Structure 1
Amino acid sequence: MNLTGRFITFIIKRILKILCKVEGAKLESVPRQGPLLLVFNHINFLDIPLIYTLLLPRNICGIAKKETWNNWFLRILAKVWGAIPIDRETPSISTFREAGKALKEKKILCIAPEGTRSGTGVLAKGYQGVVFLPYKIVPQY
């Protein structure tokens, strides 16, 4: 990550420490090295920055809806954090190739299989694409 990315991440981490109290994160279940598919229930817009900053210094990326790049601030975060765009209506094989490449590079790949925020915390029906990535999965709830 370049200097700008580290600065943005530092600021976001500080803001989150003020805004959020994280309990029961079970970070001990996350291996310190090697590829990992981290599957989580996407509850609200803070999930992604919290997961990302809590797992530092691990190399992390995630799959994000293509509409993320329509917002200037989210586009910056997506670029800095190496997000992989997905078209939720017609997902392409290239998205899964990029995801596989990230795992081969021993990154943590974050994915919310529901494809959107639940808002309630109740797990909704997920998409099955995640099962095509043959790596160790650590569910986070």
Structure 2
Amino acid sequence: MYPFIASIVKGILTITGGIKVYNKSQLPKDGAYVVACTHTGYIDILWLGVSLLPRQIHYMAKKELFKTKLIGGFLSRLNAFPVDRDNPGPSVLKIPSRLLSKGEIVGIFPSGTRTNEQTALKQGAITIAQRSKVPVIPAVYLGPNTFTELLKFKKAKLIFGEPMYIYHPEMDAKQAREHFTHELGKRLSLLHDELAKK
């Protein structure tokens, strides 16, 4: 179902303005990795997934979206899995770790919420990548955030940064998580500034 829905979404998004993707060469051609992307609306989720085709991405999504069988079932078919943001349990690490062990891509929005403000990054993306020994790819999206804004036919922009490997020879695991969470924040900020000038 994912390829079919993704092709429809790609067609709709392309008609309403399209997207310019920068630095896609930074993405590993195969194997597992975590994409840590800024999150300002619902459209960035769609464009990120479309931009990674033909590979599929598995998204962390707040559990509230899965309350109804119809919506929850649809999201599950689009490779989304629920996470309790208020009381995170073992599934926060277990599910993405299992996906990464199979060579899949996991998409995480490290701010934990849709926002246009500078938000302190949570350590989820870094922790999961560290645990699975896979790189984190920073990503920044600028463009329409709502379906109403899509109708203004404004082109979206998406930029990928260099892969981050969550390891430092002089730090223990906890120190490395804190260090690379801060580093991810800096890289996202720099990518945002770079993308805004394009």
CA–CA distance in 1 between the matches of 2:46 and 2:74? 9
When normalised by structure 1's length, the TM-score is 0.85
Q: Which has the larger radius of gyration?
A: 2
Match of 2:86 in 1: 89
Match of 1:40 in 2: 37
CA–CA distance in 2 between the matches of 1:25 and 1:74? 32
Task: Confirm whether residue 109 of structure 1 aligns to residue 106 of structure 2.
Answer: yes
Task: Confirm whether residue 124 of structure 1 aligns to residue 119 of structure 2.
Answer: yes
CA–CA distance in 2 between the matches of 1:41 and 1:117? 8
Amino acid at match of 2:122: Y
Q: Which one has more relative contact order, counting CA pairs under 8 Å at least 6 apart?
A: 1
CA–CA distance in 1 between the matches of 2:83 and 2:23? 28
The share of aligned pairs that are identical, in percent, is 27
In the alignment of these two chains, the number of paired residues is 136
Superposition pairs for residues 54-73 of structure 1, below 5 Å? Answer: 54-70=51-67
Unaligned segments of structure 2, at least 5 residues: 141-198
Decide whether the 8 Å contact of 2:126 with 2:136 is kept in 1. Answer: no
Query: Post-superposition shift, 1:58?
Result: 1.1
RMSD between aligned alpha carbons? 1.9
CA deviation map 1:102-131 (0-9, x unaligned): 11111111000111111x2x4411211222
